[in-house]
Structures are given as structure tokens and as C-alpha cells.
Structure 1
């Protein structure tokens, strides 16, 4: 249970909430907790009580050492709070008093500095190792009152301190290294000092080897702080040394001697250099304090020097020493809180954190922000604990400890950077503010709003717009701000950035921004055009930005839904150039071509169609273009070639006026497609034939001639063509079409009305001789009946061999005498006589062939073949006479069952079924049925045998067609190949 005293202690801790210098602009976030109510600094009393009043304290690596007034050292491992030890130190130095204790960062090496208590005493330095309880004086350190120790933060050895620097009350700087081992607890390697402007050896080189570096120039100028660190990974080191009134800076390369690093070489260049590398602050105090803040990698980032007027604070930058005499940047003096800013009351000690400095007074601890110098925390101590003796920080664990006369307290620091972003925001360091807000969206939004408002107030409207777009500020409010200032470019920037941030499913907002930005661009371009500034750089820049905007993926996608609105906008501004570009971007080519046609720019429309190579647009706009500019349209259609279907262009052709100009161009295009791409579409050919029939009869005849006389190969509708030509009274074309349809009689009759030669050509077309003869007779009848011209009739006999004189005689009148036909009649009779003689010869040859066949048949009936006992079946190679067999004229012999087995697989399905049926009938015949006589006069058994023989023995399997059909089959089947291979082996 918490005691009343502890409750009082807790109440005495007051955290001051940092407030911004002016109210933060509210963001678009709602119900977000922006403040952290956890105390930034809190104190906890440790639960161990020293045996006497505390005089000095040192902490490092969770190892605590207290010096008490009873002359004892209290040592405690904070990880084991129940185990501590006390060591007496005053019995070794009765005439000296303890002036300070110093613990290295590892917590293993402790130095106790003693000062003379009276004239019999002398200053001395004593060493104590963590694992030892025996104090050892450091040789060669007598007569030097050590007031500060500069520890080596690179040292990792538990037995050695590494090179360290000691500061004395007289302003001397010494270098030494302390070692602890089994033989001797420590050794002092080398010490040196320097006194500007020259150096003096003390007591000869035997006593102390090296040099003394004298800060005070022979006067007593106590060293109050020493810090040294390596610069990066180089051999260069920088050193900070403070006195009550000065801050000295040294930088140089350390030299390795006998494998050990020595810092004394850093001071050599300053022997001949004017004393300029220091910062001086007047003070009446006899003390000052120096602290560094180290990051997680033990790299020093900032430093603070406590002086009487205030804390001098700066950012460490050793690399800047190349161009200046200082090792830090942004140095400033932080004043103490106003209520304590008096000459007789200054902090006794302090601790430096990353963003605050904790000031220790005799009865209180105050925390001041390093960024805005405001008091953020105050802790008052009760007199029951005594006065505050020191406040220190563990250099390794970064814990903070406050020590009074009677107690030890530990300070807990919780997110001390929580308000840093506010401070940086007030100081207009917005990038730093974002770094320290830990990506909190509320804080980031507040920072961005503040930044945007600042830029807006400075007139940097476009930069302000970019930042505003990243905030949650009201969209309408921001837009109105730019509209009131007539900052169109800034408004476009803001809208564009908001468009970038929108998700694709926020279609309504995207559409609104796209339409608005389009209106802004069009307004700017229109204003410049009306001002005659169309060729200026400003106009071209806006036009270029507009084109880039239209190509944005979100804009392009949005245009698919709002393009009609945008087209109307562009039309209202009269910006046809951008309208065409936009339609091209949206691939809305229909609108582009329609705009050209609306402006009667037919050639531009054709050029656009040819560039786009979109057939569907040709089909859509061809009627208008063909009507207005037939020649150029026909040229464009011809240039497209096979990409266009002539059949789909028929509506465009049919809609044109039927004047010669349009017809000629249509015919030119259709002829080109037929000749170069072999178009066979019937509708195209019918339409072309119609144009020929109406406007060009000569071309019609050439077309019909090219199509040929095979009705199956022509590409037009012959019946339609014949009907059309009859309507147009095109007799010659009708003759060709009738002949094509096989209407030979009508074709000849119509041809006779046109031209005799045409009729003759038609008469020669049919393939049947009888049809040719009949048409020639019709021609002859027409000519002879009309003219009764004997010579012309004789010419018919010469032109057509199918017509004889007797065929045309009936066409002559009765007054014509036979004498006029004597010669053709005699010729005809002679031909008949020759035919009779040929028939007689053919009959004699046929009679001789019949007699020869009869004699051959008779000879076969008397033919016989002798079968020997040694003859074997050609299939099974067993004696032939053992079973019934077949003997073929070729000489091959087969057992009947062997031949049957061989022939069955090669029979067709019908004959195989027939054979099986005959065999079944033969096997089931009874004795009565055996004697039955068939209609052929043979017994039934013999008749069945004969039918079986006709199937099985119709041909020799070795000499008949079967062997010829098997010529491509292998002699050995795949199934028997392996077996035969094994036999041959």
C-alpha cells in the first residue's frame, strides 16, 4: 500500500504539457486521440538505504557506486539488488578528502580522486577494480588533483581502461592507461600535458614520461569535463574539454605506439597554433558540466555544457572542422527557467537526453525542452531525503539516477519525443516534424496542413496545392482558397494530386475532378487564343500539360463514361483541335470522322479513315463520302484492298445518284476488287452486271466472256442476268446467257435474229452431237428457207460434218431439180457404201473369234493332269492324296481343308457368311435329302459342293488377285518376328 509520504512524492512531480505557440489547424480526422497522457518523466525511489549520508555517486552498466560520509564505498549490481558490499577508503588517506569518484562505461574500473584536507595532506588518485575490494594508488599521480576523467568509450576490456584522459584542478591534461592483472592490480603507462604556448617537463623524465598539456597557462583553471570520440572509422579523434568558463575543442589523428593507441599526438599541432579553438562564456561559478548524447551505436550526436548563464547546446559535426574551427553546428545558449534565473541559484548538475535537459538544483529537478526551451517537467524533493547531491546517466543503459543525502531515485523516460513534432512544426521544420510523428496519420495531417498554409501565405500557391492534396482538409474549402486568389494553376495542381490519390472505385469523385480540370484547361487555352497568344510558350506549355492529363490512366478510363459531357465542353469552347485529339485518345474515331464530315472536310475524313484502318467506320461513312467525293472515296476504298468487304459497301453504292461520275467510280472499284482479289460474292457480281447492263453494254459482253460458259463456275446469277438483259433488249447478251443455261433452241433462234455467225458459234457449243446436229439443221432451215441459196447450203455441209445432204433436201422448194445435188448425193452414197463394207469386215472378225473360243473350250474338256503319290499340299506340305484336294491349272495343289482355312480370312463378309451357311446345310443333310435332285438335275449334295467349290476354289491363292493385293504385306507378322529371330539364332 502506498504511504502518505510516497503519495506526496508523486504529487510533487508536475509534468508540463507542451502547448503549441498557436492553435493547430484541425484536420479531417474525427475522434482521434492526439495527446499521450502518460507522464514523460516519472521518478521511483530505490528500496535500499545506505548506512550513512551519500556524498558521491557513479553509475555505469547497471553498476552503482556510492561514496558515503562514513568513509565507505557502497557497491551494488542493480541486476542483483539484494547483494551489495561496503569498502572503507578513508583509512588509507586520513589527511585527504574524497573530491570525486569516476566509473568507466563498462562499470569495471573505478577511480577515486582525493584532495588535500590540510597542509599535511596531498592530492592522489586511487584505483579500484570491480572484482577487487583492495584500493591501489595510481603511481605518478601524486600532487595532481584529478577533477575529471575522459573515459574511452571504445574500450571493451574488463582488465584495462584503454587510453584515458585525466583533467586536474590546475588545468593539466594527462593521458594514462590502467591495467589490472594477477601480478599487479594496475599500471600507469604514459602521462603527458602541455602548457601553452610552450611545454615544461615536470620532475624530469624519470618520474613522469611525456608532456603536460596546460589549459590554464600556469593559473589554476580546473578541468570540469572531458569527452573524446573517434570520427567515423578513421584514426581521427575529437576531444572536448571544459573549464568553468571555456569549452575547448581538439581534433587530430591518434598514433599507435607498440600496438597501443596514444592520444597525445592530437595535441601536438596546437603547440604552434594560436589559441582559437574554444568557446568562452563568463561565469562566476567554480564548476561547469559537460555531457554528450550518444545514439544506439554509441556515436555522439549532441552535446551540452552547463554554465552559469545557461546550458550551451549544439549538434556535433566533426567533419565540419575542415572548413571552420568548431566541431559543432547550431550552437545556442538555453536559458534556465525564469523563476530560477538568479545569480545565486544555478543548477548543480544536469543530464542530457535526446530532446531534453534535466537540471538538478539542491531541492528539485526540472526538465527543459532543447527545441523550444520550455519547462516540461518539475519535481520537488522533500527535505526528508536531504539535499540533492547529483543527477547522472548510465552511459550504457541510458538510465537516469538522482541521488540525495539519504536516497537514490531512478527516473523513467517515456516517449520524450512525443511533442517534438509539434515543436518542429511551430519552427516550420516540417520534414523533421514528420520524422518524429511516427507515421501517425493525424499528426502527419496536422503537419501538412500547417505547411500548406505557410506556403499559401507566402504566395507559393502551387507548392501549397501539392501539400494540401496530401491532407484531409475539406475539398471545397481548399478549392475556394485558390479560386479566391484566382490561382488556376495551383487549383489544377491540387485537383490533379487529389485525382492521383483517389481509388478506382470512387468513380463519382474522379468524374467530377476530370470534368473540372478539363474545363480549367479549356478556359485557359481559350483565353490565350482570344488574346492572340496561341503561338506563345505559355500556350504550348498548357496544351502539352492538357495532353499529358488526357493520357492519364484514370482520366482515360473515366472518359469512357463522361466523354459526351467532355465533348460538349470542348464544342462549347470551340476547341476542335483538342476535341479531335481526345477522340483519338479515347479511340472514339466515329466522332472524329463525323466532325470532319460536319465541317465538309471530306478529304480529311478520308485521310482519317485510312489512317485508322477500321473497316466498320468505312462502312458507316462510305454513303456520305461516296455521294460527295466519289473519285477520292473510290481511291481510298481501292487503297484499303482486302481489308474491306465489297458486299458491305453495297448500301453505300446503292444510295448514290445514278449519274455517270458515280457509276464509273463504283465500276472502277468493283472491277479492281474482282481482278486483284478474285471476289466471288454473287451480290457484287450481280450489281456489277446490272451497272454494265444499264450503262456499258460493251463492258457487259467482255464481262460475260471472261466469266466463261460453265454455269457452275460463273459468279453471277444467270437467270437474273438473262431477265435483266431481256428487259434491256440486249439480244447478244441474251444469246450467251441462254446458251449458258442450256436453252440451245432459244439461243439459236435469238442468235439468228442478231447474227448468223453468232448462231453458228452457239450451235457448236453443246457436247452432244445430236444437239449440235439439230441446231445446225435449224440454222440451215432458217437460211435455206429464206434464201434458197444452193451454194450457202453446200457450205453448211462443209462446216458441220453432222449434216448430210439428205437432211437439208426437205428445206428446198419443189422447183429445185436433183441435178443441182448430184455431187453431194454421190458423195453421200459413197460414204454409206464404205460404212457397209466396214460392218461386213467387223462381222467376219466376230465369227472367227467365236469359232476360236469354241475350239478352246473343247480342248479344255479333254485336258488331264497326272497326280503323283509324292505330290504334297502347297500349304501344309503333307502328301496330297491322303485327303480330298484341289488342283489348279497353274499347277498348285491344296488339300480342301487347307485351302478352306487359307481362303476364309480373305473373303468378304457376304461371301464368308454364304460359305458358312453352305457348310452348315451340307453337314445337316439326311439320307433322304442326299438323294434329292435339284432343278439343275444334280443331287442336292453335289449342288452344295459345287457352290462351295465356286467360293473356295474360284482362283489360286498363290496366283490369283489375292496374292496381288497382298504384295504390300510382310512375309512375317510382328507377333512371329521374335519367335523366328530366336529360331534363326
Structure 2
């Protein structure tokens, strides 16, 4: 049950807790949001035990508590098991004329040193050692001449039987180095491994230490050591040492010499023996004491230090690595003043504990917590007289717990989120990066920090940086925009709008559209001003243009452009910015607008250049009619430059809509000829259109075109019937001859050719493949020529040009007045040719007669041919006697059983023959004997006829000598299933 004194203590603690002043809201984003945590930052709890006497000294390490009491007893307790505690009588182990001045417990909680001072001038000081697992104290013999006031423990030591190298500070300013180790017999008595008095001179290399010479901080004056801390620099073999006296803070750094695998700190002081006035910070003080505290991060590396003196706490950040060539091992050192005390006679705290952001100051009747960042008192806890005066406040460095000890009680302090208000302090000190680090990503706190930072940058004139941070806040959009407009900072305004645009979600369409339009207007205005002032080739103009292009390429802007492009186009048109208008259409793929505007302004070359850059065939097809009508030459040049990317058939509407004048037609023909010659266009519509233009404007080109297309109707690319009809309408006889011949209208072609040119008619007459047609056309030509001229020489020339025509064929074409004497020679020649043909026919008949006789003799010889089969003959396939079953005998002397041959021949038959064989076998097995005896039209029984058909299939040739064997040449002689058997036979 809580006593009335404890209840009063708790009420006093709550009432005295400092309340932070609420931070006014500077951002409109969070309304009525509680920014402060109401949980107490510091609170204490009393330990549930009562000491046997007044507590005089205390030490805590690794959850192990040691109390020294006025009755000469030591109280030891394992804080994890409070029931396990004991008391040890220490007074019987020390001289009676000494008094206890301090107890020191190593960080592991295993090694305890107790320092005693003489009560009279004649007495000797004493230092005793007590192990955690022992109840007997052991005097450290070599310490008789030194009154130890402070111990610098080895924080890297992990052993429970040795302390490792440690430093001892004395009341006269001496520094000693030693190491204590438990006896091997586990009697827990301290053996001094060594006792080094740090020398006050720089020894020569290889020389030994001289006893009696020591490193003297006080330089002969009595200046007691009040604090010692030494640590190894991370990732190095260097050590740094802090030593304090009531008025000075000394710093040492250097390499420790390794002896038997353990560092010797003595060497660190060598370089400072010749520099007695360097390496310390002095603060005047009338106090006879001071306190040194370190704060360790989560990796147990010293992070900050604090030194309690009369004027205040000297506080700084430890950074020994960056100050290797300097006398100072810390940065940002400052003096933190103590809170004013109106009701106390104490000038300074008696003791203190250092946390990450606060210092807990202990007075005789209260504990105060002071912020290390803004020096404000954030907590005050008063102790009642019932608990007695405060003796010490101490921190367990390993377990990070804080303990306060009075004459009669022990209290534990709980620290809850001491960093909760750090962000506000850093923000007020304009250290915004630290404020953001410690605001724990709280959106309300982060917003306040950003607003303060942005306002500070704005006041300093760093507008663009201010705009970037303003964009991360929830401040009023209109207010921030007006701030930049008032100071005419367009670039900063663009930066703010750009950052806000990036932060918007895709469904914020209205705000996105507004920002996009506004930023476009700002960019266009800046570019327009520079163009009007002749600065369109400057770096400033190029930078703004580049930023504008990047802005237009933003995916969010591109999506927005699809909805507001009409407004953007109007803006660009009003500024006369054609270049960016074209670039915008490229980004939005809205090319039609730019080309249409260029055509409207009669800037046909610009329109064509735009189309060529865009490479969009659909736009070419769309605008080609207008461009061909207005500027045919440049349009055709543009079309030719596109090559095969454009389809000529889709451009026909543009060509057909042009005026039928020579300028337009010549350009169209030039384009069509280019496509035909370079890309072998086969579209019939294109060829028909080109042929139409040729027929009307260039007949010579038409004939060249028909020649190139050739005389194969399958290979020509135009419609021959259409071409013939067109040429007839235009009275193009020569072209009609070509086309008629192409269609196979030979007679018509020859008739037309005779009207044009005799040679043309002769060339047409040689084209048909049918000999009879050639002869007929040549006769028509001969009739036309002979009937017209009755010229005998010309008639004879026909006989020479065409061997198909004989003299008797052309004689009817001559008139009756022409006598036969004129044709004597050709008639005689013709008769001679007939005689030669008759002789050839006779020879052929005699050869045929001889061949027939030979065939008849061969047939007779086969009829008398026979073969002998003996009883010992076997089947060539199964090696069984041949006469046991029906068999086949081939002229090649191979013999096969019918069933063996059938089995052998079936796999190599074709599918059709195999099916026919199966059908015949099925018929033979299914039909009755009566049906099989039925005679067929050939006079043979049906059974005999079926067997003959089977024999024709099975025994058409020998399987060993015929084509079957040749077809099986790639097959192995031994099948896979017979391979094992054959191998065994061979063995």
C-alpha cells in the first residue's frame, strides 16, 4: 500500500512538471489536431525495500545495485531478481581511521572498487576491491600513497575475472594505470597485474619506465581528478581520454601500445608531456567537485559528453575521427546554464545524469530535467523530508536505466519518448533537417517544420528553394501563389506549381488542369518577352525552352492535355509560338491542327515540312488534295521523300481532284513513275490511272509503258480490256494492236497492224504459240500484200520469212493473168520437200515392222520357259521346306511361301494398295463357295479373279530383287528386338 508520503511525492511530481507552450498552427492543413503527447516524459517509481541504515554512496551497472551505508555495510542486489540481495560488512576490511569517499562499479557489474581517505593527516588512503561473487574485500596494495577519487573503466572489457586496463585518478591530480584480476583459485582476491605511474617525460625508444615519476595533471598543485573516461576510436587502434578536475577538462588522443594483447594507455600521454598548456578546456569554478558524463548511442559508441561545473554544464558532440589534427575531440561545445533557483541556497547541482536530449540535475531536495537543446527546464521533481536528502542520481549505462538515491530510499526514473519535442526545438533553432529527423514522420509536425523553413528561405530571398518546400506543405494554395506574385518571382512560382502538380493524384482533374494551363501561360510569357527583346538565342531562353519541353513531356501533363488542348492551342496561337505549338502536337499526337493552320495561312511549304517531320501517313492522305491543288511540285517532292511509307492508291482521290492542266498532270505522272520504277507497285488502279494519263497526254510514254509491261497477260499490272477500250476511244492504233495481241485477238491485231505498219503485223504474226494460228495470220498478211500489189518478189519473201507458208498456199491470192512459169522454182522446191517427207515415213514404217517381229519372238520364247523346284528347296524368308505350303517362284530364282511373302510385303506397300489387299482378302474369306464359283464376264470364276488380283499386288516383283529392296536400303538388317538374340548367337 502506498504511504501518505509517496502519495504526496507523486502529486508534487505531477504539479511541478513543466508544461510546454503549445506551438501555434502555421499550416492550414491540420485543424484542431493535438500536437503534444500528454504522457509524462519523466516519471519515477520507488523501489520496494528499506535499507538498514542511512545510504551514503551508490553504484549501478548491468542491473546490479550496490549501496554503501553509514553502518559500514554494503547492500548488493540483482535488480532483475530483487529477492536476491545481501549485505557485506566492509568496515572490518579497512583501517579504522579512514572514511569511505566513493564506490566505483565497472560497466559489467562484477568489479567494485571502494576508495577510502584518511580521517587525519597522519593516515594513509586506501583502495579495496570486491568481486560480485565474493564477500571479502581485498586491499589494492600499491594504492597506499594515493587517494583515488575517480576510476576510468574499460568499456571494451567483457571478462568477469579481470577489469582490463583501467585508469585511476587521485586527489592530487595523478593518473595511474592498472589492471585487477581475480585469483585462479577463485578466492576472488585482487591481483594487480601491473601498476603504472604514467611518466612525466618522453622516454627514449627502448628505455624502461622510472618508478616514482608520474603524470601530474595539477603540475604540483592539489587538483583532484573528478572524472575519467577513455574509449577506443571506432574502426581504429586509437584511444581518446577525457579527464576532468573542478575547473578543467583535459583531452588526450593517441595510439595505445599493445602489451600481451592488451593496450597500454601510458603511451597516449607521451606527446602531451611537452605541451602542458594544451589539450584542456578551463571554466572557473569555486566548487570542489565536478562531474563528467557520456551518452552512448545504440551501438555503445560515445556520442555526446557533458561536464558539470559551477557556471553550468559544458556540453558537446563527440567526434574524435574528424579532429585528428586538432586539440579538441568534440564539436559544437556550449555552456548550458542551470535553471534559476529562487528558493535554494545551492549554486549548482550536486550530480547529474546525461540522456540523449536532457540532463537530469540533482539537488539535495529535487531533480530537474533541462533540455540540452534550448536550456529549458522541462521537468521538476521535489523530494519530501521523509525520504531524506538526495545522495546521487546515477545511470546504468548498459541497461540505460536511471536511479535516484536518497538517505533512505531508491527510486527509478522512467523516460518516455524524450525526443517528442525535439523537432520543435530544432525548428525554432532553424535546424530543419534535424527537426524533420526527429518529428517521427508525424504529418502535422512535418508540415509545421516545412512552413517555418519555407518562410525563412522566403525572407532571405531564396525563393526557388522556398517554393520547393512550400509545395510540401498544406498551406493555402492561393496564399502561396500570391506571395510569389507579389515579389514577381515567376521562376519560383513555376517551381511551386510544378511540385504541387507532382503531388496531386490523377483524379484531381480540375486542379491539375488549372495548374497545367497556368504554367503553360507562364512559360509562354517568359519566352515571348525574350523573343520580343531579341534574346531568343541566349542561355536563359534555351534553359526556359528546355524546361518547357520537359514540362510538356510530363505524363501527368500529357494526360491533362487531352482534355484542355483547345485552350493550350489558343494560348500558343495568341503568343505566336508556332515552334512550341508543333512540339506540343508531336507530344499529344494532334498533328492535324498544326497542318490545318499552316494551310489556312497559305504556308504550304511549312505544312509539307511538318508532314514530313511527323511521318503520319493518314495526315498526308487527308491534306494531299489541298496541297496538290495549291503546290503540286513541292507536294510531289514530299510524297516522293516518303517513299513506300505512303500507299499510292490512297493518294488517288488527291490526284483525281486536281485540275487537268499540264503542270498538275506532269507532277502526278512523275510521282507514279517513281513509285513504279523504285518500289514495283502492282496496284491495278495505279497502273490504270497512269495508263489513262499516258493515253491523253503522252502517247510515246504509253507505248514505252506497254513495252515494259510485256506480252504476258498474267504478268501485266493494268486492266487490258480497259486499256484497249481507252485506246480505241483515243484512236491509238498501235497501242490497240499491242493490247489486242495481249488479249489473244490475233486476227484483229493483225488487221489493225496492217493499217499501221507491215513490220508491226509481221511481229504480231510471230507471237502466237499455236503453229496453225501463226500460219493463218501470215496467210492473212500475204493475202493483204499480194492482193494489193501482185508483187511476185514480195510474195517470195513471205515464203522465206515464214516456213509455215508454202507456195501452194499463196497461189490463190494471185490474179488469173499470172502464169505458172513464174512459180516454177518454188514449186519444184516444194515437191522435193514432199519427196523427202515420204522417204522418212517409209523408214519409220520399216523400223516399226522390225520391232513388232522382235516382240513376237520374245513372247514365244517366254512361253516355253520353265523352272525346276526340288523337294529340298526352302523358303527364302523362313528357311522351311518350300513344298509344304503354297509358294511363289520368281524368275530371279527366289522362292517364298505365299503367307511369308504376304507378311513381308504388307509393311512396305502404299496405303492405297494395302487397303485394296485387305479388301480382297476379306472378300475371299467372307463370300461363300457358290458366290466364289460364279463366273465373271471374263469367263473366269470370281475366286480365280480375286486371287489373280491378290497375286498382282503381292507378287508383282521379288522383295529381294525389285524396287522394294531399293526402298529399304536405309533400314538395318537386324531389328532392335532381334539384336540381343543375334548377339547371343554370335557369342
Alignment of 1:792-871 (within 5 A): 816-817=816-817, 820-824=819-823, 828=827, 831=830, 835=834, 865=864
CA distance in 2, matches of 1:840, 1:119: 169
Deviations 1:52-100 (A, max 9, x none): 2222222222222222222322222222212322233345443333333
**Residue number in structure 2 paired with 1:521:** 523
Q: CA deviation at 1:36?
A: 1.6
**Residue number in structure 2 paired with 1:656:** 658
Q: Retained in 2: the 8 A contact 1:880–1:893?
A: no
CA distance in 1, matches of 2:887, 2:383: 141
**Residue number in structure 1 paired with 2:86:** 85
Alignment of 1:54-65 (within 5 A): 54-65=55-66
Q: Retained in 1: the 8 A contact 2:57–2:102?
A: yes
CA distance in 1, matches of 2:157, 2:931: 130
Q: CA deviation at 1:313?
A: 2.2
Q: CA deviation at 1:279?
A: 3.4
Of the three residues 686, 689, 692, the one matched with 1:690 is 692
**TM-score normalised by L of structure 2:** 0.85
State the secondary structure of the residue aligned to 2:182: coil
**TM-score normalised by L of structure 1:** 0.85
Q: Retained in 1: the 8 A contact 2:362–2:368?
A: yes
**Residue number in structure 1 paired with 2:393:** 391
State the secondary structure of the residue aligned to 1:712: coil
**Residue number in structure 2 paired with 1:443:** 445
Q: Retained in 2: the 8 A contact 1:873–1:895?
A: no
Q: CA deviation at 1:477?
A: 3.1
Of the three residues 413, 416, 419, the one matched with 1:414 is 416
Tell whether 2:186 aligns with 1:186.
Answer: no
State the secondary structure of the residue aligned to 1:83: strand
**Residue number in structure 1 paired with 2:13:** 13
Q: CA deviation at 1:420?
A: 1.0
Structure 1 gaps, min length 5 = 200-204
State the secondary structure of the residue aligned to 1:279: strand
Q: Retained in 2: the 8 A contact 1:294–1:301?
A: yes
**Residue number in structure 2 paired with 1:202:** none
CA distance in 2, matches of 1:955, 1:319: 104
**Residue number in structure 2 paired with 1:76:** 77
Shift in alpha-carbon separation, 1:16–1:533, aligned structure 2, 3 A: farther
Deviations 1:93-124 (A, max 9, x none): 43333333332323233333333435675543
Alignment of 1:868-879 (within 5 A): none
Q: CA deviation at 1:422?
A: 1.0
Alignment of 1:235-384 (within 5 A): 235-256=237-258, 261-319=263-321, 322=324, 324-340=326-342, 344-384=346-386
State the secondary structure of the residue aligned to 2:674: helix
**Residue number in structure 2 paired with 1:467:** 469
Q: Retained in 1: the 8 A contact 2:807–2:826?
A: no
The range that moved more, 484-493 or 330-339, is 330-339
**Residue number in structure 1 paired with 2:968:** 970
Q: CA deviation at 1:430?
A: 0.9
Q: Retained in 2: the 8 A contact 1:922–1:941?
A: no
Deviations 1:686-719 (A, max 9, x none): 1121111101112222222333333333222121
**Residue number in structure 1 paired with 2:158:** 156
Q: Retained in 2: the 8 A contact 1:870–1:879?
A: no
Alignment of 1:506-905 (within 5 A): 509-560=511-562, 562-591=564-593, 593-594=595-596, 596-610=598-612, 613-779=615-781, 782-783=784-785, 816-817=816-817, 820-824=819-823, 828=827, 831=830, 835=834, 865=864
CA distance in 1, matches of 2:142, 2:931: 152
Q: Retained in 2: the 8 A contact 1:21–1:426?
A: no
Q: Retained in 2: the 8 A contact 1:602–1:625?
A: yes
CA distance in 2, matches of 1:47, 1:214: 45
Shift in alpha-carbon separation, 1:519–1:923, aligned structure 2, 3 A: same
**Residue number in structure 1 paired with 2:482:** 480
CA distance in 2, matches of 1:837, 1:306: 146
- Which of 1 and 2 has greater Rg? 1
Q: CA deviation at 1:372?
A: 0.9
CA distance in 1, matches of 2:320, 2:86: 42
Deviations 1:140-197 (A, max 9, x none): 43464433333333333333333433334444444444343247823454253789x9
Q: Retained in 2: the 8 A contact 1:24–1:450?
A: no
State the secondary structure of the residue aligned to 1:713: coil
**Residue number in structure 1 paired with 2:498:** 496
Q: CA deviation at 1:460?
A: 1.0
Q: CA deviation at 1:212?
A: 3.9
Q: Retained in 2: the 8 A contact 1:27–1:471?
A: no
CA distance in 1, matches of 2:399, 2:341: 33
**Residue number in structure 2 paired with 1:35:** 36
CA distance in 1, matches of 2:216, 2:236: 27
State the secondary structure of the residue aligned to 2:474: coil
Deviations 1:857-883 (A, max 9, x none): 699779963757667999958999999
Q: CA deviation at 1:357?
A: 1.3
Q: CA deviation at 1:455?
A: 1.0
CA distance in 2, matches of 1:171, 1:942: 144
Q: Retained in 1: the 8 A contact 2:173–2:223?
A: yes
Deviations 1:818-859 (A, max 9, x none): 5x3443379558846974896699589859967996998699
CA distance in 1, matches of 2:844, 2:115: 159
Shift in alpha-carbon separation, 1:344–1:825, aligned structure 2, 3 A: closer
CA distance in 1, matches of 2:467, 2:130: 66
State the secondary structure of the residue aligned to 2:660: coil
Shift in alpha-carbon separation, 1:306–1:511, aligned structure 2, 3 A: same
CA distance in 1, matches of 2:926, 2:300: 118
CA distance in 1, matches of 2:824, 2:74: 168
Structure 2 gaps, min length 5 = none
Shift in alpha-carbon separation, 1:133–1:599, aligned structure 2, 3 A: same
CA distance in 2, matches of 1:674, 1:286: 111
Q: CA deviation at 1:529?
A: 1.4
Shift in alpha-carbon separation, 1:55–1:968, aligned structure 2, 3 A: same
CA distance in 1, matches of 2:640, 2:661: 20
Shift in alpha-carbon separation, 1:551–1:886, aligned structure 2, 3 A: closer
CA distance in 2, matches of 1:882, 1:356: 122
CA distance in 2, matches of 1:174, 1:618: 97
Q: CA deviation at 1:773?
A: 4.8
Q: CA deviation at 1:576?
A: 1.0
Deviations 1:876-905 (A, max 9, x none): 5899999999999x8989999799969997
CA distance in 1, matches of 2:178, 2:969: 111
**Residue number in structure 2 paired with 1:210:** 212
CA distance in 2, matches of 1:172, 1:475: 67
State the secondary structure of the residue aligned to 2:712: coil
Shift in alpha-carbon separation, 1:6–1:865, aligned structure 2, 3 A: same
CA distance in 1, matches of 2:166, 2:472: 53
The range that moved more, 388-397 or 835-844, is 835-844
